[in-house]
């Protein structure tokens, strides 16, 4: 089978290991389109050619780069006509312009098509995006959903085709693993990796840490508009000497950073227009045998399962109590780390995600 997968997310090198796993299937002729970079806010995420064996990577220009809903690939129709894929896999939400153009071109060239969605809130989009969504529901032969609530949203909005819950990307357990140097740091180290925006709840983590006893440090890795206010809050709480702010790091450096942490915290807060759709950093930490502690926002409890700790979102007292317990109980940290690794191996490796995706392709082609 010839598959054309279009994914701006695959500019990230660590994500490309899924593509290599897909390409291992003997009947797979995989072609992947990515832009040269993706602009996310003020950050420019440049293509990392880290894992490119076994498939053909096509770097295509993108119009309106950085505009989530309205970006598109001007020459995508030409590429589909040239490659004549059996399946066009659009790794985008169904209400986006890029998805509408891709599924329209796929239909014109008699290719079967699917889209991917994370959207776990039922929202009504303005015209023309509402039209794109409706038309893509009609044209798609399959849908992939990144979480359970996204399936409910698809059904409530009228999509009646086949759908399967598959995480967009897993992790490579050979890259994300416990490293010998992980115990070199003497003090209890709390970590956060992600965007610095209000809905990620990093301010709650600072408030909880300020009430901890013992010798601890907090590392906050990432960029975003809340950096300055979070730094000011650390100063206000009297803990600035114990808190480090680290700019966003390349995906290839994340495993080593996670190995520095005694616990990874994701204190997300649900909003009327957003709630946590997955929390990829959780499975990355779990693969490294780093214990995880997450709020019960969106998909976080389903990702962690029984391999970590969950606290009620927004509850600083509960967050602080769990951190204190982990600080004092090295056995609990070891047990949770081991459980997290096993959960990732069972559900969230790139090979597992690739296998599930390949089974969808076979189903689409009636095999």
Both 320 and 356 in a single domain?
no
For 302-320, write each residue's pLDDT tens digit.
999 999 999 999 999 999 9
Is residue 321, in this structure, part of any structural domain at all?
Answer: yes
pLDDT reported for residue 86: 98
The reply to whether 21 falls in a domain is yes
Task: Mean pLDDT check: name the lowest of 129-133, 152-156, 247-251.
Answer: 247-251
The whole-angstrom separation of Cα 167 and Cα 144 is 8
Asked whether residue 337 falls in the same domain as residue 206, the answer is yes
Whether residues 94 and 215 share a domain: the answer is no
My answer on whether 293 and 274 are in the same domain is yes
pTM of the model as a whole: 0.86
Q: Are residues 13 and 36 in the same domain?
A: yes
337/191 same-domain check: yes
Averaged pLDDT, 146-172: 96
What is the model's pLDDT at position 42? 79
Same domain for 210 and 184? Answer: yes
Average pLDDT over residues 124-135: 97
Same domain, 213 and 164: no
Verify that 294 and 325 share a domain, yes or no. Answer: yes
Reported confidence tier of residue 180, pLDDT bands at 50, 70, 90: confident
Residue 322 has pLDDT above 80, yes or no: yes
What's the whole-number mean pLDDT along residues 236-264? 94
Structural domain includes residue 230: yes
CATH at residue 131: 3.40.50.2000
Q: Based on the fold, state whether residues 331 and 355 are members of the same structural domain.
A: no
Counting the structural domains of the chain, the total is 2
**175 assigned to some structural domain:** no
Shared domain for 153 and 224, answered yes or no, is no
Instruction: Confirm whether 62 is domain-assigned.
Output: yes
pLDDT at res. 189? 96
Match 């081991």 to its residue by tokens.
338
Q: Are residues 197 and 163 in the same domain?
A: no
Residue 64's domain comprises: 2-170+349-364
Q: Which strands make up the sheet holding 56-59, listed edge to edge?
A: 56-59, 29-34, 2-6, 87-90, 112-117, 142-145, 163-165
| 325 inside domain | yes
What does DSSP assign to residue 25? S
């Amino acid at each position: 089978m010839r598959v054309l997968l279009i994914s701006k997310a695959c500019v990230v090198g660590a994500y490309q290991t899924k593509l290599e796993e897909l390409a291992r299937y003997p009947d797979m002729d995989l072609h992947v389109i990515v832009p040269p970079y993706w602009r996310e806010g003020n950050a420019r995420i440049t293509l990392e050619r880290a894992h490119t064996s076994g498939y053909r990577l096509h770097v295509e220009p993108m119009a309106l780069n950085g505009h989530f809903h309205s970006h598109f690939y001007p020459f995508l129709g030409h590429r589909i006509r040239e490659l004549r894929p059996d399946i066009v896999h659009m790794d985008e939400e169904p209400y986006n312009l890029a998805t509408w153009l891709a599924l329209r071109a796929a239909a014109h060239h008699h290719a079967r098509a699917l889209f991917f969605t994370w959207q776990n809130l039922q929202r009504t989009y303005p015209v023309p995006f509402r039209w794109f969504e409706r038309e893509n529901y009609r044209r798609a032969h399959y849908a992939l959903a990144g979480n359970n609530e996204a399936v409910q949203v698809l059904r409530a909005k009228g999509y009646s085709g086949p759908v399967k819950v598959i995480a967009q990307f897993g992790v490579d357990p050979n890259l994300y693993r416990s490293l010998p140097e992980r115990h070199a740091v003497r003090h209890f180290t709390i970590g956060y990796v992600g965007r610095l925006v209000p809905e990620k709840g990093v301010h709650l983590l600072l408030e909880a840490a300020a009430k901890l006893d013992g010798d601890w440090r907090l590392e906050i890795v990432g960029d975003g508009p809340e950096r300055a206010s979070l730094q000011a809050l650390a100063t206000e709480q009297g803990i600035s000497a114990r808190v480090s702010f680290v700019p966003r790091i390349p995906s290839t450096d994340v495993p080593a950073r996670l190995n520095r942490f005694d616990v990874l915290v994701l204190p997300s807060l649900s909003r009327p227009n957003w709630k946590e759709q997955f929390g990829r950093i959780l499975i990355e930490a779990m693969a490294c045998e780093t214990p995880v502690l997450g709020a019960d926002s969106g998909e976080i409890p389903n990702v962690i399962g029984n391999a970590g700790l969950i606290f009620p979102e927004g509850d600083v007292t509960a967050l602080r109590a769990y951190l204190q317990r982990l600080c004092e109980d090295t056995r609990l940290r070891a047990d949770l780390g081991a459980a997290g690794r096993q959960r990732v191996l069972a559900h969230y490796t790139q090979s597992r995600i690739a296998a599930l995706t390949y089974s969808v392709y076979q189903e689409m082609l009636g095999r």
